[in-house]
């Protein structure tokens, strides 16, 4: 039974090139988390957000899941920016600049989206997305 989870653990902790055994590689990965760990956290947050958008009925929670997705993208940008700065890239701050713009767009999107939710609630008296079917015939 536990064996079927084994591939997931292998995928979570990549083989460090300098270590002798797989156990060494795993402990090395836990003691010194690098770029790949940041990317894995970002990917998991993104996928939780996608699952929220696809499964929830409450339109406000769907908006919150979209915020989670944008935040996961921000985490990737920041991790990559750090990696580029340490490898001596000249334009390493571009990731941080882009993150500022992602946050701006997320704020604008939340303001407009919640305005739409309020207008919709006034007209349809519901926040369940499966009951909002005006365009369906």
Partner 1 sequence: MPLSGYESVFFWIFAIGAIFAALLTVMARNAVHSALFLISSLVSVAALFVLSGAEFIAGVQILVYVGGVMVLFLFVIMLVNVGAEERGRDEIFNKQRQVTTSLVFCFVLVLGVLYAVNKGSSTLTKQNLAQEQSVEQQAEKQVAENAGLKRSATRTSRITRDTERVGGSLYRYASLPFEIASVLLLVAIIGSVMLARTLRQEASADDLDPDVLKDEAAHDPEIMKLEATSQE
Contacting partner 1 (CB under 8 A), which of 5, 6, 101, 137?
101
Number of residues lying near partner 1 (CB under 8 A) = 82
Is 128 strand, coil or helix?
strand
Are the C-beta atoms of residues 80 and 95 closer than 8 Å to each other?
yes
Examine residue 114 and tell whether it contacts partner 1 (CB under 8 A). yes
How far is 98 from 104, CA to CA, in rounded Å? 10
Nearer to partner 1, 118 or 135 (CB): 118
Token pair belonging to 7: 């591939």
Are the C-beta atoms of residues 52 and 65 closer than 8 Å to each other?
yes
Write out the binding residues for partner 1, residues 16-55 only, by CB under 8 A.
16-18, 30-41, 43-52, 54-55
Binding mask 61-80 toward partner 1 (x if CB under 8 A, else -) reads: x-xxx-xx--x--xx--xx-
């Amino acid at each position: 039974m536990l064996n079927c989870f084994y591939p997931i653990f292998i995928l979570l902790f990549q083989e460090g090139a300098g270590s002798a055994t797989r156990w060494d590689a795993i402990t090395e990965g836990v003691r010194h988390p690098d770029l790949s760990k940041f990317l894995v956290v970002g990917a998991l947050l993104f996928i939780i957000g996608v699952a929220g958008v696809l499964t929830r009925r409450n339109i406000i929670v769907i908006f919150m899941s979209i915020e989670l997705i944008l935040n996961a993208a921000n985490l990737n940008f920041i991790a990559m920016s750090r990696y580029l700065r340490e490898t001596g890239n000249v334009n390493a701050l571009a990731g941080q600049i882009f993150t500022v713009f992602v946050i701006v767009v997320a704020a604008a999107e939340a303001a407009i989206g919640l305005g739409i939710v309020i207008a919709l609630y006034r007209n349809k008296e519901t926040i369940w997305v499966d009951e909002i079917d005006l365009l369906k015939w």
